[in-house]
Amino acid sequence: MPTNAAETWFPVLLQALFAAAIAAALISLSYFVGKKLKNSVKSMPYECGMTPTGDARERFSVKFYLVAMLFIVFDIEAIFLYPWVVVFRDLNKQTQFFPLLEMFLFVVLVLAGFFFIWKKGVLDWADTAKRASIKKNASEIRLGASATLTAVE
């Protein structure tokens, strides 16, 4: 057993130094071994293999940020489950089913929030005008099909 702070933190320091040495070695190795071709194609910004068009300072939809915040909320919900799972056996011995009911209520409330935002359409990435035109086209197709049925009869 370590007796002082230096002995306690020495393994952590050793691991951090080891990780820094590996990172520095990999970066310097790729710098010295890698090819160094310079041309106009390599100097262009990469946009998924497509030719870059437009301005880089284009505005993002608010839905992008909303979905990012929702991801963080549900990720934090998953983080709250881990400590509960770790101590569940000890809690269950002491208080019977209360911890299980408590976590069940927590998961039900989170799922209720998820279904609420799903119903509100927060998770839809499609443009509302595009969705409206798709619904309009679908209703025209249905009307057209029923009109041809009545004409045939």
pLDDT tens-digit readout, 53-104:
777 677 777 777 888 888 888 888 888 888 888 887 777 676 777 878 888 8
Would you state the pLDDT for residue 151?
Answer: 47
Does residue 135 have a pLDDT over 90?
A: no
For residue 95, which amino acid is it?
T
Q: What is the mean pLDDT of the chain?
A: 78
Q: Is residue 138 part of a domain?
A: yes
Q: Is residue 150 part of a domain?
A: yes
Q: Is residue 129 part of a domain?
A: yes
Q: Is residue 139 part of a domain?
A: yes
Task: Dihedral sign for Cα 79, 92, 106, 112, please.
Answer: positive
Strand, helix or coil for residue 126: coil
Q: Tell me how far CA of residue 42 lies from CA of 27, 31, 52, in angstroms.
A: 20, 16, 13
Place of tokens 């030719």: 51
Q: Is residue 140 part of a domain?
A: yes
For residue 22, which amino acid is it?
I
Model's pTM, two decimal places? 0.44
Q: Grade residue 14 by pLDDT with cuts at 50, 70 and 90.
A: very high
Q: Is residue 29 part of a domain?
A: no
Q: Is residue 86 part of a domain?
A: no
Residue 148 belongs to domain spanning: 125-153
Q: Which residue has the higher pLDDT, 8 or 60?
A: 8
Burial class (CB in 10 A: 0-12, 13-18, 19+), 79: exposed
Q: Is residue 146 part of a domain?
A: yes
Which of 24-38, 62-76, 107-121 bottoms out in mean pLDDT, i.e. has the lowest?
A: 62-76
Neighbours of 128 (CB within 10 A): 9
Q: Grade residue 143 by pLDDT with cuts at 50, 70 and 90.
A: low
Angstrom distance (rounded) from CA 70 to CA 114: 9
Domains identified in the chain, total number: 1
Whether the Cβ atoms of residue 83 and residue 106 lie closer than 8 Å to each other: no
